[in-house]
Amino acid sequence: MIPTPKTKLALLALVCVVLGGPSAGAAEILTKPEIVSAPKSSTNATDATFVFTSPDAGVSFTCTRDGLTEACTSPWTYSSLAEGSHSFSVQAEDGVSTSEPAPWTWTVDLTPPSLPGDKTVEATSPLGTAVTFSATDNFDPPPDLSCSRSSGSLFDLGPPASVDCTATDAAGNQSSGSFTVTVVDTTRPLLSPHKDVVVKVPDSLSETVVQYNLPLATDNGDPAPLVSCTPSSGSIFQVGRTRVTCSAVDSSGNRASRRFDVVVQHGPAPAVPLLTSNVGALTNKTSAGFSFETSDGSSLACKLDRPSGPGTFAPCTSPQTYTQLGDGSYLFTVQATNSIGNISVASFSWVVDTTPPGQVRQLRSSFGNGWVRLSWRNPTDVDYKRVLIWRRKVGASSWGFLATRKERTTLLDDTVPNDTRFEYRLRTVDRAQNASPGAKIEGRASRILKPAFGSLHNSPPLIDWTFVRDAAFFNMQLWRDGRKILSVWPVRSAKRLPANWRFNGGRYSLRSDRYRVYVWAAFGSKLHPHYGPLLGWTEFRMR
């Protein structure tokens, strides 16, 4: 006995019950015709041939195309069709009653897709800038795009880079050519605030050499902007307060500046204030609080240097709280001043980062018998830390945590049952603990290796499955609309579907529709086979 997939029982409804049943002269309801072969849902052919049939004997057919109705026979062909959407339906009639129409819609697309145009993008990271691009078409869906550098690849700052592409739309129209991607840097570097430098010298000296560290500079395109200050570190500074101005210049010539003071003083200095903070050096919190105290009764003043510029000292008391802080580098300073005007300072610098890192790029899944493999590219954010991976069964409400990845960009999930759809979510996390929304992809392990579940095809696909030891042959079945339309018994573990065939007295073709494939392994002879359990199943669509 040839195996068949399980189906749900359907409830039968009785109709036309009128006072004990239909009259002897009541007309039978004709069966809706079946369209066996039809044009693809999107095609560049201006001719369209429809093959249709009806199980009812002695019927004729009426065809309607774009509102024009005429008598027809199978096969029925239309020629010189204009570009655009078209509709077709066929009805069976016997002179007494008419069946419901069997409809079909398709699009004639004669226009090649448009390739991406030249792109100029702002640099996002010294590690490279991910650039996405796509082709466009006069009809949906978006065309397939094959390029010498795929969408989402990294491009470096510098001269235009050429990308060669071929775009193919759903109708089979193609365009080939190239475009350029230019990454520019028009953004100023970021120069961190620098704390004031306080130096004590003997009363006999009126000047001294002062060494200080350069402020830290970061940039969206240059990994090491050039930082310089005037007066420079190692210069001679006079007693009193001297303003130091620092600048950062990136490789594109963008410039930013900051300033701080060097204070050279005689005499005793007040005790350095004791300072504590409720935030770390890197945080995604938008508020910060500081507590401080002095042990010798000196007067206190505070200031906050922000990413937008320096602050000014003002008398203050502990604690001090700042809210609604934007992203960037901050420096809080509390200054103690004694009775002779000498100062000492305590400061705390930190970075507020509330921006999630970029998503993983070029996320893909592959599968086999009992496993799903994910691969991706990490974002180029300089503060990227790790990727968190979750999994759930398609249709489930909750996610289960699966794994963490830092440098590795693959994951093998070999804990999944075959022929069950799972959804994976990958969230990137940066050093400030910001997390991306999460990139998602489906994975489905199966012993049916080709075609992939849900894949879309323009031509008859190859059905490929894992070989079963000692199997004499296999039974492969093709179903459409809940009806078996093909059953074959190949010896090898692969079978390419035909474009047209006959089965159980009917004619069939791989028209634009959804299909399901089942495979069983068979043992023994074809005259007396023994079938094992269902090897696996998959679904695919034809354009």
Q: Are strands 42-43 and 102-108 parallel, antiparallel or unpaired?
A: parallel
Q: Which of 25-34, 70-79, 164-173, 421-430 has the lowest mean pLDDT?
A: 25-34
Whole-angstrom distance, CA of residue 543 vs CA of residue 535: 27
Do residues 33 and 90 make contact, with C-beta atoms less than 8 angstroms apart? yes
Hey, which CATH number is domain 448-542, 3.50.50.60, 2.60.40.10, 1.20.140.10, 3.40.50.700? 2.60.40.10
Judge if 34-108 and 361-444 fold alike in CATH terms: yes
| pLDDT score of 10 more than 60 | no
Average pLDDT score over the chain: 93
Residue 349: Cβ-neighbour burial (10 angstroms; 0-12, 13-18, 19+) = middle
Q: How large a percentage of the chain has pLDDT more than 70? A: 95
Residue 510: Cβ-neighbour burial (10 angstroms; 0-12, 13-18, 19+) = buried
- Placement of tokens 């069950």 in the chain: 420
Assign 3-class secondary structure to 396-456: CCCCEEEEEECCCCEEEECCCCCCCEEEEEEEEEECCCCECCCEEEEEECCCEEECCCCEE
- Kindly indicate the confidence band of residue 16, based on its pLDDT and cuts at 50, 70 and 90: very low
Whole-angstrom distance, CA of residue 539 vs CA of residue 398: 26
pLDDT in tens, 36-78: 999 999 999 999 999 999 999 999 999 999 999 999 999 999 9
CATH number of the structural domain 268-354: 2.60.40.10
pLDDT in tens, 423-446: 999 999 999 999 999 999 999 999
pLDDT of residue 141: 81
- Kindly indicate the confidence band of residue 27, based on its pLDDT and cuts at 50, 70 and 90: low
Confidence (pTM): 0.83
CATH number of the structural domain 34-108: 2.60.40.10
Domain boundaries, the chain: 34-108, 119-184, 268-354, 361-444, 448-542
Structure tokens at 162: 């050429």
Residue 236 φ then ψ, to 5°: -90, 125
- Placement of tokens 């052919």 in the chain: 45
Instruction: Say which CATH class 119-184 falls into.
Output: mainly beta
Mean pLDDT of 265-271: 95
pLDDT of residue 140: 76
- Reply yes or no on domain 361-444 having CATH 2.60.40.10: yes
Mean pLDDT of 342-347: 97
